Structure formats: structure tokens, C-alpha cells
Structure 1
């Protein structure tokens, strides 16, 4: 079986590739962004027509934290819309029957009832700091649903909570909260700083999922028989949440990271910085009913990610 993994160099895509490498009879097809620009329709059309994959996993996306989303909104909406439209449509044109698209929990309204169930989609106003990215991801879901409805395809979407782990982006400005905290506390420890201030009030609650768990969940969903998946996602084989089902405050997260890093100074908050959405917890009962749940605890995952960061520290210090 030939499986094309779009975004194989990213954190999630690389984890999926590691998991697929353990399977017999699977040929993983990849292309770097230099080899294949997914925002270019003709290039994607030629690639799909030539390779004719049996399945497609769409893990490619332009991603970033609050700062990056606020600073580059046009890039976030344009690039993600183009990637989704090109990969999904050209997969269909090449006769690919099975596709898995990876989205984000930011698709749900800012004040959605917690935990956020799949049915909350399009029921309220989005969080303004990442609205362009969220709209692009919602479009991806609707693309999959539309090709299922019109052409009978089996295109599925999984919506992960906040992901972290080996291969994460530790850029000081453009990273997500957990890798940003790892880098900040590591550098504070190295510099002997007595205090580290975290963005916002520290009260927003967030859920986190290790990327290896996400890879396992993605392949679990991809492998489900269509009739089994349909029982939980009808009509139109819609999206499904992937998460741990538990959350922590940002301050509690900072304390976990400080412990893993070995930082013993004071942790303070900076209320002048934005908090973002007050709470983001996924309702994962749909996935649990299908038979999957997480296996890596947050404390274990942070410790593992910090060890990976130490092994790769020189790379990230130049970014």
C-alpha cells in the first residue's frame, strides 16, 4: 500500500511516518516543500497523477502560537486554505478513496461549552487571535465532508488538542506555549535567573497530547472500517476529536515544565499579555467509544520532550 504523508518533516507528520515505518507492506511517499509546493495547484496535480497513492494523510500546515497568528494572519489563512484545497481535490482527481486530514481544536467557538464536542462546530464566534487559521481548518473539514457527500469518498478529519513532543518548534516568538516554556525555563536555568514571567494571567486551561499519541490515534482512525467510523460521525463522515480528556492551567503547566527542566526560581505572570481562549478541553468520548485512549501522561511527555530538546539544543539556539 502506498501512503502519501504530506508534511512528513513536521512534528506530527514525522511521528506518523515513524509509526508507519513499523508496518509491513506500507510504502510511505514523501516530498519536502522544496520538492513539492503544496500551495501550487499544478504541482500537486502532477504529483498525485504520477504517484497514485492508495491513501493520503494531510499533516502539512502552517502553524504557530498566539504571536505568530497575530503577526501573520494573511499567511496563515492563505497557505492553509491552498494546501487543503489542492491536496484534497487532487487526491480525489487521482482516484484516492481514503484520506485523513489533521485539523486543530481552534475550530471551536471561543466560548464553546466545555468539554468541546464535535457538534459545537460553527455554533459561535471564534477566538480572534487565531481566527484566520481556524477558518482555514474549518474549510478543510467541509472540503472532506463535501467530497464524501458528492463523490462518495471516505475523507476523514481528526481535530487534535494542543500537541507537543519531539520535533516541536522551540522558536522564542513563533512557538506554541509548551515548547516556548521549555525553552524559556531551560535558558533561565542556564542563566541563573531568579524569576520567569509567563504570558497572561496563568488561569486559562489547556489540554495537551503527546505527538506519538496523536500519530497512534490518527492511524487508528484511518484504519477503522467505514461503517464503524460512520456510526460515530454521520452525517457525511464528519470530524472527530483527539485529546487526552484532561486539562491544566497555564500556571500549572509552567510548574510542570520547571520541574522537568530543574528550574527552581520564582514563576510569575504577566497580565498585560493576551490569555487567548479561557478554556480548551476536548470531548473525546466519540474516540473512546471507538476504542482509543491516550497512553503518555503529561509529566512523562514533558520530561521526554525536554530530553529531546537537550539533544537538539544547538539547532534551536540558532533560530
Structure 2
């Protein structure tokens, strides 16, 4: 079991749809999951539905981004809904479709599909979860941490500004410590996905997070921070592909000056963390300055992954940059 999976299990909050398993690729720049509202490509809808085939056992969650995406498609396009419901589907796809229909508030259509596909037991289990619907979430004007991914997927499908506005309420009322940790994790997932670090480095940040916040004993605080992580990770990923989303995200932070300052500090720390990783990788041999610089870089990496601040300039950065 991965460290991310253990964290999810401890907190009761599933992020697999955004940064784990088959969905990890869907959150990367260039993917259609979060940019369909720009292209309106039917092929993208089929691609998202096809993610069900690569889902690891036990990784399904009723709030993952593909579910929100499909729910929004079902709400906004009766033609696409009819096309998908008429096509043959494997068991995994049926689970996706039934869940998305319920999330769209289309209960009668879900019941018809369940009757046609012998999916009554699946539908019964989903109904027992008392899932919130996209119309219900937007009417309430706020989103629970467990539904942030759902709304991110719905926004990617249609570009409905209402979904984005509701997502950004996640930042309201967060104390500085929680905001800083959530934004640090969100920046990392937006950049590197579920590993929180580039290939070749095993980050200790999740281990340190649970040590700091005691994930099992403080599930509410844990979920709140993971909600900030999920929202920032998803929205910033979309913002890289869409200027309108970027403008809204920047405006949201501009209105919240303390949060904007925290984000700026975290972005600077992330840049220094990336440089420290580079220094530690390149300065692996030699003596004197190289050894001292690499040791300083390793200390900086450890500090960052323990949620400490990093210096503005890292020893050895110039030397590492000069390496072939």
C-alpha cells in the first residue's frame, strides 16, 4: 500500500481520482478531462469513460473527477447522454455511468439502466451512500472536501463558472497553517502528481504531514487540508491550460491578501525545493565545495518536506548549474 493510499485510508478522504492510479494522467497538462469545455470533443467523453477500465481494485470513489465530468455531460447534453446509455458497456463503465447519473440527479435514468444491465445491487449500494448532486451542491453554494474533485471534473466538462466559484470557497476560513500545508501539497500534486516529487526521489512529505496533524485522530482537520490541496491542485492545473480560469484563480487570491502572501511564499519554497533536488542529484561526487553544497541541499529537502521554510538562495546552486 502506498503512502498516499495509507493517508487516504486514515483520513477517510479519497483523492485517487485526481492524483492516483489511472486518473493521475488525467490531471496532467494536455489531458482532456479538465479542458473539454474548450474543445467539446466527443472523443474526450469516451476517453474519460474509458478510465474505468484502468481503475485499480478498491480505487473507485463516487466523487472522483471523471464522475463529475460525466455527470455534467449527462446534465448538459441529452444527445451525449443518450449515445452513452445506448452503447454496450463493461461492468466498470456501468458503475461510472450509474454513479454519474445519480450525481446529476437523474435517478430515474439510473434505475432504468440498472434494470437493463442487472445492476440493481450496484445502484442500491450507491443510493445508500446518499450522494449529493451537482445541482444540490451549486444551490448550497459550498462544497464539502469529499466533493471537491467531483466539482473539478464537472468544471472541466463545461467550464460552468458557478462550479469554479463554489470550489474556491474551500479557501474560506482556513487558518494560516492549514492553508500553507494545503497549498504546499497542492503545488506539489499540480507539478508532480501522486509522488509529490520528480522521478528518482521518494518524498517524505505525507509521512511528515500525518505526524504533524495526526491524520487518524484529527480527521476533520486532515480532510480540510486535503480539500485545499485538491482544489488548488485541480484548479491550477486547469489554469495552466485556460487563461480565463487563471484569471479567476488569481483574482480569488488577490481578494484574500493573507492567502496570497502564503501562496507566494509556498511558490518560492517550491522553486527552492526543486533546485535543492537538482543540486543533490548533480553534486554526487567530489570533495570540498561539492560535498558541502550537496549536504546543504539534502538538509533543505528535509526541511521542506517537514513543512519548514527554505532559504532564498541555496548553496551550490551555481556549481550544480555548471555541471554537464
Normalised by the length of structure 1, the TM-score is 0.30
Higher share in helix:
2
Higher share in strand:
1
Normalised by the length of structure 2, the TM-score is 0.30
Bigger radius of gyration, 1 or 2? 2
